[in-house]
């Protein structure tokens, strides 16, 4: 009996390390997927916020100001496309704006994905359309316009 126990010494540590590797791989994969869903939601919200800023504020055709607002919410936003309706309208005749974010990639942070050499995942185009509003508030209030 003592010889048998002596031969199995350390087997618990080996089994624990194998199970731990599988558990950590699964846990990191779940966290990375949750981070990807968060990035997806943040990009959708950034497109909505950019469209909202464009239709509410006076400097509606100022693309750098809209992009700066969107980057404050999600710094990964590279470039945006703003399409006013109808085409060629002025600030007083525009009916709405579509703001699109394209060309974003999701980069894995999980060490397992990095070791496997998984490339960045291209994210879809995020787009929001809002109609023109006149909601400029008093400059001393909590307005979204600067």
Number of domains in the chain: 1
The answer to whether residue 92 sits within a structural domain is yes
The answer to whether residue 136 sits within a structural domain is no
The answer to whether residue 145 sits within a structural domain is no
- What contacts 24+ positions apart, CB below 8 Å, involve 57-61? 57/136, 57/144, 57/145, 57/146, 58/91, 58/136, 58/145, 60/84, 60/91, 60/94, 60/97, 61/91
What range defines the domain where residue 107 resides? 2-131
Name the nearest CA neighbour of 120 among 129, 128, 110, 130.
Answer: 110
pLDDT per residue, tens digit, the chain (146 aa), is: 565 666 677 888 899 999 999 998 888 888 888 988 998 999 999 999 988 888 887 666 788 888 888 988 888 888 889 888 888 887 777 888 899 998 888 877 766 655 666 777 888 889 999 887 655 555 555 566 66
The answer to whether residue 95 sits within a structural domain is yes
The answer to whether residue 142 sits within a structural domain is no
């Amino acid at each position: 009996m003592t010889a048998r126990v002596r031969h199995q010494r350390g087997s618990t540590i080996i089994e624990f390390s194998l199970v731990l590797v599988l558990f950590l791989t699964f846990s990191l994969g779940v966290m990375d997927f949750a981070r990807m869903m968060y990035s997806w939601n943040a990009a959708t919200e950034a497109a909505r916020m950019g469209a909202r800023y464009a239709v509410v504020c006076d400097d509606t055709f100022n693309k750098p100001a809209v992009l700066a607002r969107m980057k404050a919410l999600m710094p990964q936003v590279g470039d945006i496309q703003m399409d006013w309706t109808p085409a060629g309208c002025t600030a007083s005749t525009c009916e709405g704006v579509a703001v699109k974010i394209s060309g974003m990639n999701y980069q894995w942070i999980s060490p397992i994905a990095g070791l496997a050499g998984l490339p960045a995942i291209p994210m879809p185009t995020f787009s929001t359309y809002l109609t023109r509003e006149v909601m400029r508030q008093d400059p001393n209030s909590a307005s979204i316009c600067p």
